[in-house]
């Protein structure tokens, strides 16, 4: 195989807007860089929320959870602004939305391909380790379409639940 071809492929996959692997050091500065890279103005609110979201590794948060954390961190922000910001971040590829049921949307800071466990009742969402195969066959897409992504949420409940 021609080695230059391999390098080209790697460059392609690195052009995703959420290339956060290269960001290290001060999280505040990283958030600013991240926002600029995706063309969002680093307003104070976006900076503060981005810092809460991305400063602690991979996370799964609902708007309400982020609102609670922002309030605890004394970031003056309304729930409506939280919703707007989460959707803006999702639109530019910084976050991935995971729909668990009709009423709850989780926002995932890990935008790479992966699937989720969801503990019903506890409302806890976490990653299924990447190596685990969920589907051994991707369904055939209808005429004129291709499969963009497969999202699997595997629902869990405690084995000896008496409630």
* Residue written as token pair 């195969």: 133
Binding interface with Zn ion (CB under 5 A): 108, 110, 127
Please, which residue, 127 or 151, has the CB nearer to Zn ion?
Answer: 127
Phi, psi (rounded to 5 degrees) for 100: -95, -45
Shortest gap between Cβ of 80 and Zn ion (angstroms)?
Answer: 25
Handedness of CA 20, 118, 47, 95 (dihedral sign): positive
Shortest gap between Cβ of 116 and Zn ion (angstroms)?
Answer: 5
Please, which residue, 68 or 124, has the CB nearer to Zn ion?
Answer: 124
Please, which residue, 84 or 110, has the CB nearer to Zn ion?
Answer: 110
Distances (CA, A) of 18 to 21, 93, 96: 9, 6, 10
Distance (Å, rounded) from C-alpha 106 to C-alpha 100?
A: 7
Shortest gap between Cβ of 4 and Zn ion (angstroms)?
Answer: 34
Do strands 153-156 and 115-119 pair parallel, antiparallel, or not at all (unpaired)?
A: parallel
* Angle at which helices 44-54 and 79-91 cross, to 10°: 70
Please, which residue, 51 or 106, has the CB nearer to Zn ion?
Answer: 106
Shortest gap between Cβ of 117 and Zn ion (angstroms)?
Answer: 10
- With CA atoms as reference, report the closest residue to 51 among 33, 38, 63, 39: 33
* Residue written as token pair 């989460």: 86
Shortest gap between Cβ of 120 and Zn ion (angstroms)?
Answer: 17
Please, which residue, 20 or 77, has the CB nearer to Zn ion?
Answer: 20
């Amino acid at each position: 195989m021609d080695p230059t071809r391999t390098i080209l492929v790697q460059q392609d996959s690195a052009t995703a807007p959420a290339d956060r692997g290269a960001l290290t050091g001060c999280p505040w500065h990283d958030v600013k860089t991240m926002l600029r890279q995706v063309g969002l103005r680093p307003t104070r609110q976006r900076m503060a929320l981005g810092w809460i979201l991305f400063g602690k590794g991979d996370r799964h948060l609902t708007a309400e959870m982020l609102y609670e954390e922002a309030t605890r961190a004394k970031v003056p922000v309304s729930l409506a602004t939280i919703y707007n910001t989460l959707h803006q971040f999702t639109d530019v590829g910084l976050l991935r939305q995971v729909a668990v049921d009709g009423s709850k949307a989780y926002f995932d800071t890990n935008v790479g391909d992966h699937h989720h466990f969801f503990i019903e009742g506890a409302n806890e969402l976490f990653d299924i380790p990447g190596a685990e195969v969920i589907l051994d066959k991707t369904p055939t897409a209808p005429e004129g379409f291709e499969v963009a992504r497969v999202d699997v949420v595997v629902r869990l409940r405690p084995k000896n639940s008496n409630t």
